[in-house]
Structure 1
Amino acid sequence: MPSQYADLAERILAGDSLTRDEALDVLRSSDDDLLDLVAAAGRVRRKHFGNTVKVNYLVNLKSGLCPEDCFYCSQRRGSEAEVLKYTWLAQDEAIRQAKLGLDGGASRVCLVASGRGPHQRDIDRVGAMVSELKEQHPQAEVCACLGILSDGQAEQLKAAGVDAYNHNINTSESRYGDICTTHEYADRVRTVEHAKQAGLSPCSGLIVGMGETDDEVVDAVFALRELSSDSIPVNFLMPFEGTPLSQEWTLTPARCLRILAMVRLAAPASEVRMAGGREMHLRSQQALALHLANSLFLGDYLTSEGQAAAADLEMIADAGFEVLGADPTAASSRPVSRQRGAGTQVAPNA
């Protein structure tokens, strides 16, 4: 007999939308039903993305030194977390690091800089980086993540060759004031709208594990659905020592799987990325999570080390998936290597 989640997947595949009650039911599903839930949501994932996994690679252009007070972030104002702090990477170093990811199998490079938002010189700097990178790797996708955008900046990034813009809403509107006081939820939504209007692919996601309720998780995911986010990174809070959320350890592998399943069913055609903290919270269930998420970051994050890139690629292959766009005979099938301590580490919850 088909499970209730198999029936739900059939309706989603037929074009129905996940309702709020159904989303809450997914988050509150029993352990006995968990594998049925993963299998059902996995059908939706395969309908839209087959057996491919999109591999993304982060380049941390500017680390720490941020004036914002986002409570989850190791780069926040007043943070006592022991992270690398440096101003902008030189262009040749940024290009070198981006090429490491592309040579390791990534199809998208994410250029990230800490701070409230970019100044004009920052837009010019990133534009020059992207132009050079696209000259050398015309097929590479570039996503910029530079903070809150002012009028006209998204258009400038688009003109420079940027393909996508990442700005996470992070949590529900009702909870936003509990995790940040230096800017508002509306500022983040406005930036995503700026990116969309400029023709950039909107990449916006959330962070779970910050003490939010099931209702607040659903609020955030449904808001992302309303924003038509093409790519939804799901970050799992990494409770950095020296930040206000350092004692938040509420996630389990099963909870993470339920959240990923709910995101997949709510936004069936969106790229769902298991992002920062997956190694810490999904642990041995990362391969199972690939049946829900069709995207991940390769290697390190912003201010924390990720799983070894070779292990990521092996996990993808062992689970029966293929890296999107990979040529098994080309150099891109080789694992990427990073030089630790060379400014290559980047923070998940950007």
Structure 2
Amino acid sequence: MSDLLVNNPWEKWAEKALEGGWIDKDEALRVLESKDDELLLLLHAAYRVRQHYFGKKVKLNMIFNAKSGLCPEDCGYCSQSIVSNAPVEKYSFLKKEVLVEGAREAIKRKAGTYCIVASGRGPGKRELDSVCEAVQEIKAETDLKICACLGLLTDEQAKRLKEAGVDRYNHNLNTSREHHEAITTTHTYDDRVQTVTKVKQSGISPCSGCIVGMGETNEQIVELAYELRSLDVDSIPVNFLHAIPGTPLENMDELDPGRCLKILCLFRFLCPDKEIRISGGREVQLRTVQPLALYPANAIFVGDYLTTEGQLVKEDHQMIRDMGFEIEGEEC
């Protein structure tokens, strides 16, 4: 190992993660406040941890928007919320057959996980019935893992999704407890934590992450990362705010590619064996350095998001291969 790497101050962060420990909050802040000329050394240290647990594999996930717009919540980042004037497509919950066809498209895109997402505070009975029926059919036909993201859940709803075959449930905390009311007031931070807890208790794998770039401080990002570690979620989608015209946060612009990479490294050090997914806004905020994000992260969404376009699928596949990584589940 070269002297440069031996003297890399971030290597001890990697050693802690590999030995089953974790960095403290002061060390976590140092990651976010690190100088840009340290970024490659930081990425190298984070990659050591990522490689140990996931090798060269990149997991692909595909989002399917099962219900668009019509949401009574006031989340400031969301183009589908009641406070948004963004010109997004609006439609009620799609039929089971359409959800099943979406799963077939996920396979074409080489995705291992198919994510059924719906706007709204939480699912009604008919919506839950439709998801459960679709999941049962998809499971009978394919080997896909199914993730559902339907909003706040009751214990009984979580149980039904588990019985139907849902593998994972996504419910992002989005931001820290302290910053939560600056983003939304129609539900509480504890509402979100409780849903993640109910999902875990039902036996479904919990997925919960964040949206960064919404005016939060470094300290608040660290607090959120510690909360997700404490909840022991299996998958952490890291979204980078895509400020959509017509939303309350439309003028927010505080991210740059280097900051995005540092945030991904922070999550890798704190949650070393968890799926860290580069999620919404990566094309906008990471721009030309998107490939470098694969050093700390081991998963991406492939294709479009809920109301915004993503990178072309073939470009995602090529990016992964050009960086020397492998698509999980793809035959070598």
Say whether the fold is shared (TM-score over 0.5): yes
Q: Percent identity?
A: 50
How far apart in 2 are the matches of 1:15 and 1:298? 31
* In 2: Cα distance, 1:325 partner to 1:67 partner: 39
Matched pairs, number: 327
Equivalent position to 2:19, from 14, 18, 26: 14
Please give the alpha-carbon distance, in whole angstroms, between the structure 1 residues aligned to 2:235 and 2:308.
22
1:111 pairs with one of 110, 113, 116: 116
TM-superposed deviation, 1:104 = 1.6
1:284 to 2:284 alignment: no
- AA matched with 2:195: T
Residue equivalent to 2:235? 231
CA contact (8 A) 2:76 2:83 kept: no
Paired position in structure 1 for 2:310: 306
Contact 2:169 2:205 in 1 (8 A): yes
Aligned partner of 2:188 in structure 1 is: 184
Shift of 1:120: 2.0
Q: How does 1:89-238 map to 2 (within 5 A)?
A: 89-137=94-142, 139-238=143-242
What is the SS of the residue equivalent to 2:83? coil
Aligned equivalents of 1:87, 1:136: Cα separation in 2: 26
Matched, 1:47 2:52: yes
- Given that 2:76 and 2:184 are in contact with CA atoms closer than 8 Å, whether structure 1 keeps it comes out as yes
Displacement of 1:223 after TM fit? Answer: 0.4
Bigger mean CA offset, 267-276 vs 86-95? 86-95
SS in 2 for 1:118: coil
TM-score, normalised on structure 1? Answer: 0.92
**Equivalents in 2 of 1:11, 1:135: separation in Å?**
42
Q: Choose which of 42, 47, 52 in structure 2 pairs with 1:37.
A: 42
CA distance in 2, matches of 1:8, 1:194: 32
Q: Please tell me whether the aligned partners of residues 155 and 202 of structure 2 are also in contact (alpha carbons under 8 angstroms).
A: no
Shift of 1:327: 2.0
Which structure 1 segments of 5+ residues have no match? 329-350
Query: What is the Cα deviation at residue 78 of structure 1?
Result: 2.9
Greater than 6 Å deviation, 4+ residue runs: none
Name 1:339's counterpart in structure 2: none
Give the TM-score normalised by structure 2: 0.97
Q: CA deviation at 1:89?
A: 1.2
SS of equivalent to 2:77 = coil
Distance 2:270 2:281 in 1: 22
Q: Counterpart of 2:285 in structure 1: which amino acid?
A: H
Q: Tell me if structure 1 keeps the 8 A contact 2:304–2:310.
A: yes
Amino acid in structure 2 at the alignment position of 1:140? L
The CA distance in 2 between the partners of 1:292 and 1:11, in whole Å, is 15
For the pair 1:67 / 2:97, whether they are aligned, the reply is no
Counterparts of 2:64 and 2:293, CA distance in 1 = 24
Cα distance between partner residues in 2 of 1:78 and 1:207:
18
AA partner of residue 271 (structure 1): E
